[in-house]
Structure 1
Amino acid sequence: MAAYVNRTISMMAGDGPHNVSMLNNGSVRVNMQNVDSPLQIFVRAKKKINDIFVEIDDYVKDAVTFMHAVSGENGIATPQDMGNVESYVSKVEAIREVLKRDHMKVAFFGRTSNGKSTVINAMLHDKILPSGIGHTTNCFLQVEGSDTNEAYMRTEGCEEKLNVQSVSQLGHALCATRLQECSLVHVHWPRELCALLRDDVVLVDSPGVDVTPNLDTWIDKYCLDADVFVLVANAESTLMVTEKNFFHKVSTKISQPNIFILNNRWDASASEPEYMEQVRTQHANRCVDFLSRELRVCSPKEAEERIFFISAKEALLTRMRDREKPVSSPILAEGHQVRYFEFVDFERKFEECISQSAVRTKFAQHSRRGKNIAGDVMAALDRVYNIATEQKAAKVEKQRILHEQLSSIEEQLTTITRQMKDKINRMVESVEHKVSLTLSQEIRRLSALVDEYESEFRPERPALEQYKRALHRHVEAGLGSRLKKRLSSDIGNEMDVVQKEMAERMYNILPTNKRAAAANYIIPHQQPFEVLYRLNCDNLCADFNEDLSFRFSYGITALIQRFQGKNTNRIALNNPPQYTQIPASITPVSALPPAPRAALPVLSAEEWGLLSKFALGALTSQGTMGGLLLSGLLLKTVGWRVLAVTGLAYGALYAYERLTWTAKAQERVFKRQYVAHAGKKLRLIVDLTSANCSHQVQQELSTMFARLCRLIDEATTEMDAELSGVRDAIKMLDDASTSAKKLRNKANYLSHELELFEEAFLKHNN
């Protein structure tokens, strides 16, 4: 026995985390200094993965904000991608909450009074949980570290802090105020008082597996997140079917659980030393067979490393004595040092196992999940980046096309404007000349138009005024209809040609996608062109004064005016003809009359002057005296027979004209006077009328061209607005692609961080 103790001490002394010393009384003191505890691996891994998930949380939120920003009209981010990324926000927050609560959890199970609570107290170096003979622990007790120096407890669903001494009341099966067996009591113990609690280890004590058949509820509520299970068996008996059945149920819900078997109360073997090795071998074989063959959670060799023979009561007493706690000092059975060393060995292997298991089971899935989240978000960002890049290239090409179209439209519009102005000016000049020529021709044919007017003519003043007004309207309507007939069609055809040319040229400079909308508008459907003017004969001939008094057409004044003209009358009267007498000696015989006639008196120059004066007086005088004087003069000069015949013929002619001076004759005179006056007045407005008509043509063509220019301007305005929108879209897409690229790179960074985490904590532990 002494050799076994020394060998065990040497083995323990060689381990790094423990300092072993032999006391004077023969007991062994093991100082559990956490020089490099395996539990610290979990602590560091937890801190590292928490830091990584803080970055993942920020990254996912940034990605969601970015997705919302680019999910507008362009639809860069699809609703499916947005929904997927948004769903990761809650998932990452849930993972962070789990990581905050993550700890290394060990659950102790076994039959009633096998010493589960005593084992936990020994590991905590203090008597915290109720223990004793019989059915002691009535509910689940979870011991976890407290960040304060205060020890307290809370019941499930209640935040009230209770005195830790209440554990003996609430958790003890013999107390009247005990809780239900499925209840959970959280016992918070200061971390500074226990290395296990300081390293995020949680110990869960349970009622006996033989006190209730409701094992499935226990497993679902308290076992699924456990990293290590400790089966506390009674070394004085053997593994029972109840204990095996419980762990069979556990193995069906948890893939290969980590199970340690503590054969407690091994101190009883000291009373029968001759059977100690045989019993130990028997228990060990049954436990190895249970772990490797029945549960298949490990190999037989690994199972041997997870089976321990201890005395939890002795370990607790030893540790409380080392901490100078006031405890009873019973005499420890022989070999207690070996049992204590095996308990310490259990703790060492337990720490290694729970650290490796917790890091692997808790953080490996979080690491994989984090990489999946980063990968999925990066894939969504890749799609956004590709879509943004493609749309940006399309927008840049569209911007180039719009620039070229606007420049082309501007150049063509400048050329067309100059050409159309020249065409309109030539058209205006042509119309002005055509209207002037046509109106002049119609004025020359005014007499025919006036003759076409037929109405009763009466010389009375009221009837005459009415006749004149009607004649004005007839002339105005007739001239208007003739001018329209001759001008409107020709000018209208010319204008149609020009307008169609304008429309077609304007239509052709529009972009193809704008032509369809402008097709019905750019080529107008107008009424036939009509020349608009107002002759207004009432105003033109307002100063027309007709002269309907009788005038003898063969009177002396009329004759003189007819043959010599008004301006030569005075010359004829003031310069009488000079006659040169021909000498008789040279007068030819043939010039003489063949028979003697009454020779006409030859008047001298003085006589001709006197005769002219009398004639002028007769012309200008209305009295009888003038006529007598003229008659006497003629009688003296030509003879009374000639004068009588001439006077008779003259009087007959006068009488005839006087008798034929009827209303018809007066109407003819009136129309001649009207034609002369109206023609004169109309010739005065030829230039004005032609100018008005040309202005009408110019106005219509200019209006048409201005309307077409407005249409082009509207199209270019739309194109400018579209170009501005394209520029904004290019800027937005450029920002989107840049942001997507940055976020995508951050996903690579996070994935790399998780790979480093796995390399440092997961692969090493495997």
Structure 2
Amino acid sequence: MAAFLPRSISMMSGDGPHNLPIAATNGIDNSPLQIFVKAKKKINDIFGEIEDYVKDTVDYMHEVQKEDHIVSQEIVRQIEEFVHKVHSIREVLARDHMKVAFFGRTSNGKSSVINAMLRDKILPSGIGHTTNCFLQVEGSTTEDPYLTLEGSNEQRAVESVGQLAHALCEEKLSESEMVRVHWPKNRCLLLRDDVVFVDSPGVDVTPNLDEWIDKHCLDADVFVLVANAESTLMVTEKNFFHKVSTKLSKPNIFILNNRWDASASEPEYLDQVRRQHQERAIDFLVKELGVCTPKEAEERIFFISAKEVLQARLAEQGHTALTPLTDGFQTRYFEFQDFERKFEECISKSAVKTKFEQHSQRGKFIANNLKELLEDLYNEASKLKEEKLYQRKELTDKINYTEQQLMIITQEMKKKIQNMVEDVEQRVSKALTEEIRRLSKLVDDFNLPFHPEPLVLNVYKKELHLHVETGLGSNLRAKLSTALAMNIEQSQMEMTAKMDTLIPENYRKTSNIIMPRRQPFEILYRLNCDNLCADFHEDLEFRFSYGITALIQRYAGSKGGFFALKNKREDLHLAPSTPVNNQLLYANSSLDDWSIISRIAIMSASSQGTMGCLLVAGFMFKTIGWRVIAVTGAVYSCLYLYERLTWTNKAKERSFKRQYVDHVTRKLRMIVDLTSANCSHQVQQELSGTFARLCSWVDKANTDMDEQVKVLEKEAVTLDSAGGRAKVLRNKANYLSHELDLFVEAYLKLHK
């Protein structure tokens, strides 16, 4: 035995490539545990990118929702939830580790197995019921180990674990409580590779198996059933794993038949006992639990002595002295190493799958959801941008068309207004001329009492001016206003209709421009008789209608020789009245009598003296005779007396109105062109004003459409930017989804 010990220790120290202990293999980069470490780092990096990506997407969504309103609040809220989900996944990933839970009956050596794997006596172990609560051993970045209790961050000395977890100590915890032992990672390679060991009380010390499973086992990657090789699997052990299998789908279970060193005392039954334990364990795993195949079950059943392995490893590290080992130790030691190797492969494979498969699926779900949302957003932004550009083009074309049509309509309306102005001018001129001809009838209708008194006569004239002006205006309106108003209204409606076609239908509905209603147009005929007849001076002196002057004027007017007589009279004035002339006058008695009388009358009228009258009377007395002269004088006197007696206020009124009519007729004929031009100017102003207002309406519409074009251009640019950013984010979602696919190919499918 003494000769055997150095060689066995030498083999355990690593002499030979195929006999390296687990401590040496853990440091190799291709260790199965490194797969989990690398996978954890990789998926953490991916989810770090996903978290940044989701935050960028949320910021983008908020910006798009604020500016473009193409994202609903529900979608924004949904993406905001992704932020919390990704953050929660990252927190879980940061805490994720490979967890192995050790179960078995009391005093089967669970704590010893863990200590042997950790190469240090960390957990309390001994005879009888030792571990009273759950102990979790995990790696720590600190230099010194410490422990914490469940629900507390207070760090305690690691030596107190013997008091808190040992069943024989007075100060102890309940069976379901957890004590976390934080062991420096630099002291243990297993802990450095994110492996966590959970030690449990014996399954036979409490009936609260369901509570244990729910609280400490649901996230375990591997279960190690530590059985006593000196007995067999018990019902309590089986019942526990039956409960586990109902809550976990095909849990990974290893069965360690501990204390196999006891078989060294009965070598004749070694193979039979091993075969018996192995058959029962295979039946339990395959037939009862159904968690693996018979071949897989054979790979998960081991016969070891944890106490021997721990002693050997502590001696190797110089912590304890070498002690004699039982026969067959080397075989049991290498089987323990085989268990560690297969355990590492299994826990790494299981942990990668259980820890990261769901996270990778959730990451792909988030990335694909965001990709679909961003794809829809990109399509919506592109669609809206095309709509905005199309609307801008339509508005631009409409503006250009409106400007061209406005020029054409302006020329057309100018010509139409000019024609209407000329027509109004002709109508007003014609109507006013007709009214001037009927002026005497209008004046005769004036029946205000007449009196030649100057003050009364001034009032009479003012009222007559007003009567004439009102009557003429009323008659002109009766003849012209209705027809002219209809023509003007028709022209305005035509203008409005033409202008209305220049404004888009949708703009008329959405714009606030409303064409104001106009009052009916009426032409004002401004005659202003007061000023027009201000120079009228009536002559109400009595004038005998058969007086010499009146007869001469009447005769001269009827023969058209008034100017000739006037010229003759001027000649007579120039020639002085001499005796020679008088003799010549009498000598020419053979001339026509009436011609002589006319000349004498002219002379008498021109002289305005008595001498003329005597000459005429004497001449007539000589040629006609006194009887004829007397009768004629009597008749003439009667006529004079009659007219003089009939020269009353009524006659004066008739004479006044006749004189007024003659004066007003002359004055009105002078302003016919002016009045017609004034009326046509009113029509021109009305139509031009209407057209100008319509043009301003169209200009306002064009201005608003120009502003709308600018808004559409700005919106199109914003949508283009939003679509571009959505495309970039969508492509990044594809990239992240591809990264997750690569992760699945590298770490999940490869290790199935």
Structure 2-normalised TM-score?
0.89
Bigger mean CA offset, 180-189 vs 490-499:
490-499
Bigger mean CA offset, 374-383 vs 225-234:
374-383
Which of 547, 551, 562 pairs up with 2:543? 551
Q: How does 1:469-488 map to 2 (within 5 A)?
A: 469-488=462-481
Letter in structure 2 aligned against 1:367: S
Q: For the residues of structure 2 that align with 1:226 and 1:169, how far apart are their CA atoms?
A: 26
SS of residue paired to 1:509: coil
Q: 1:11 to 1:113 in 2, by over 3 A?
A: closer
Letter in structure 2 aligned against 1:722: Q
Report the number of matched residues: 730
Q: For the residues of structure 1 that align with 2:533 and 2:510, how far apart are their CA atoms?
A: 54
SS of residue paired to 1:655: helix
- Following TM superposition, by how much is the alpha carbon of 1:61 offset from its aligned partner in structure 2, in angstroms? 2.6
Which of 233, 241, 247 pairs up with 2:235? 241
Query: What 5-or-longer segments of structure 1 have no aligned partner?
Result: 21-28, 578-598
Which of 267, 279, 283 pairs up with 2:277? 283
SS of residue paired to 2:501: helix
The answer to whether the 8 Å contact 2:605/2:612 transfers is no
Where does residue 534 of structure 1 map in the other structure? Answer: 526
Where does residue 445 of structure 1 map in the other structure? Answer: 438
Q: 1:142 to 1:672 in 2, by over 3 A?
A: same
Where does residue 87 of structure 1 map in the other structure? Answer: 81
Where does residue 93 of structure 2 map in the other structure? Answer: 99
Bigger mean CA offset, 525-534 vs 362-371:
525-534
Q: How does 1:613-762 map to 2 (within 5 A)?
A: 615-616=604-605, 619=608, 621=609, 640-641=626-627, 643-762=629-748
Q: Is 1:184 aligned with 2:188?
A: no
Q: Is 1:133 aligned with 2:127?
A: yes
Q: How does 1:228-267 map to 2 (within 5 A)?
A: 228-267=222-261
Letter in structure 1 aligned against 2:104: G
The answer to whether the 8 Å contact 1:76/1:388 transfers is yes
Q: For the residues of structure 2 that align with 1:179 and 1:198, how far apart are their CA atoms?
A: 28
Letter in structure 1 aligned against 2:347: I
- Following TM superposition, by how much is the alpha carbon of 1:191 offset from its aligned partner in structure 2, in angstroms? 0.5
Letter in structure 1 aligned against 2:706: D
Letter in structure 2 aligned against 1:218: W
Which of 65, 89, 92 pairs up with 2:59? 65
Q: For the residues of structure 1 that align with 2:513 and 2:722, how far apart are their CA atoms?
A: 41
Which of 551, 555, 569 pairs up with 1:573? 569
Q: For the residues of structure 2 that align with 1:655 and 1:249, how far apart are their CA atoms?
A: 159
Q: Is 1:161 aligned with 2:155?
A: yes
Deviations 1:39-86 (A, max 9, x none): 111111111111111122222233333334444697644555444433
Q: For the residues of structure 2 that align with 1:373 and 1:76, how far apart are their CA atoms?
A: 21
The answer to whether the 8 Å contact 2:13/2:316 transfers is no
Letter in structure 2 aligned against 1:536: N
Where does residue 340 of structure 1 map in the other structure? Answer: 333
Q: For the residues of structure 2 that align with 1:197 and 1:446, how far apart are their CA atoms?
A: 130
Where does residue 19 of structure 1 map in the other structure? Answer: 20
Q: For the residues of structure 2 that align with 1:196 and 1:601, how far apart are their CA atoms?
A: 177
Alpha-carbon RMSD across the aligned residues, in angstroms, is 3.4
- Following TM superposition, by how much is the alpha carbon of 1:256 offset from its aligned partner in structure 2, in angstroms? 0.9
- Following TM superposition, by how much is the alpha carbon of 1:516 offset from its aligned partner in structure 2, in angstroms? 6.8
Q: Is 1:382 aligned with 2:375?
A: yes
- Following TM superposition, by how much is the alpha carbon of 1:19 offset from its aligned partner in structure 2, in angstroms? 2.6
Q: For the residues of structure 2 that align with 1:135 and 1:661, how far apart are their CA atoms?
A: 164
Q: How does 1:164-243 map to 2 (within 5 A)?
A: 164-243=158-237
Q: Is 1:149 aligned with 2:143?
A: yes
- Following TM superposition, by how much is the alpha carbon of 1:104 offset from its aligned partner in structure 2, in angstroms? 0.5
The answer to whether the 8 Å contact 1:109/1:232 transfers is yes
Which of 96, 102, 107 pairs up with 1:108? 102
The answer to whether the 8 Å contact 2:597/2:616 transfers is no
SS of residue paired to 2:197: strand
The answer to whether the 8 Å contact 2:133/2:177 transfers is yes
Q: For the residues of structure 2 that align with 1:324 and 1:7, how far apart are their CA atoms?
A: 15
Q: For the residues of structure 1 that align with 2:692 and 2:340, how far apart are their CA atoms?
A: 99
Q: For the residues of structure 2 that align with 1:298 and 1:9, how far apart are their CA atoms?
A: 37
Q: For the residues of structure 2 that align with 1:539 and 1:432, how far apart are their CA atoms?
A: 23
The answer to whether the 8 Å contact 1:576/1:609 transfers is no
- Following TM superposition, by how much is the alpha carbon of 1:218 offset from its aligned partner in structure 2, in angstroms? 0.9
Deviations 1:357-415 (A, max 9, x none): 11122112222222222222222222223333333333333333333222222211110
Q: 1:143 to 1:30 in 2, by over 3 A?
A: closer
Q: Is 1:459 aligned with 2:452?
A: yes
- Following TM superposition, by how much is the alpha carbon of 1:494 offset from its aligned partner in structure 2, in angstroms? 2.4
The answer to whether the 8 Å contact 1:46/1:99 transfers is yes
Query: What 5-or-longer segments of structure 2 have no aligned partner?
Result: 574-586
Structure 1-normalised TM-score?
0.87
The answer to whether the 8 Å contact 2:375/2:730 transfers is yes
The answer to whether the 8 Å contact 1:360/1:762 transfers is yes
% identical aligned pairs: 59
- Following TM superposition, by how much is the alpha carbon of 1:556 offset from its aligned partner in structure 2, in angstroms? 2.1
Where does residue 313 of structure 2 map in the other structure? Answer: 319
SS of residue paired to 1:106: strand
Deviations 1:672-726 (A, max 9, x none): 1111222233233323322221121111111221222233233333433433333
SS of residue paired to 1:230: strand
- Following TM superposition, by how much is the alpha carbon of 1:514 offset from its aligned partner in structure 2, in angstroms? 4.7
The answer to whether the 8 Å contact 2:141/2:185 transfers is yes
Where does residue 373 of structure 1 map in the other structure? Answer: 366
The answer to whether the 8 Å contact 2:106/2:202 transfers is yes
Letter in structure 1 aligned against 2:236: T
